[in-house]
Amino acid sequence: MELNPRTTDPQGFDYMANSGREEQDRDTCGLILALILVLSLTALQYLGLY
């Protein structure tokens, strides 16, 4: 696979490449953060904090 010099650093890390275990982990991070934000904002409202 050809390298995209714009998105790849000298270590060969391509920030636009997203696959495998790394992808799953990123998804998990996003998923957890989203749930925390959405649920806490909703819970705060239900608890009458704003």
Partner 1 sequence: MSANAAVYEQNRRSFLSSLYSFREALPGLLAMLFIAVFANNLPGVPNPLTLENLFYWLDGVIGPLNHQPFSKIMNSNFVWNPLLLGLLIANIFGVPDAWKRGLSYIHMLMPLGIIMLAPHFMIFHAFKLGAAPIVLCLASLFITASLTLLLARWLKLDDRQGSIIAGGLSTGDPHVCAILMPLIKAKGGQVVNSLAGIIVFGLLAMNLLPLLGSWLELPEKYFGLAAVLGVGNGHQALYAAFDLGYEAGRYAQWFDVGRHVVMPAGFLYVFIVMFIRQRRYQSDPTVLATRGINQFPLWLGVFIFLWVLAALHLFKEPAHHAVFNLVKWDFSLAAGALGLSLSWRDIGAWGFKGFLVTCIAGLIRIVLLLAAIAVCVKTGLLAV
The residues binding partner 1 (CB under 8 A) are 1, 4, 6-31, 33-35, 37-38, 41-42, 44-45, 50
**Least distance between partner 1 and beta carbon 21 (Å):** 6
C-alpha distances in angstroms, 13 versus 1, 7, 8, 10? 13, 8, 5, 7
Q: What's the closest the beta carbon of residue 17 comes to partner 1, in angstroms?
A: 7
In angstroms, give the least distance from the CB of 48 to partner 1. 12
Q: Which of 40, 15, 36, 18 is nearest to 27 (CA)?
A: 18
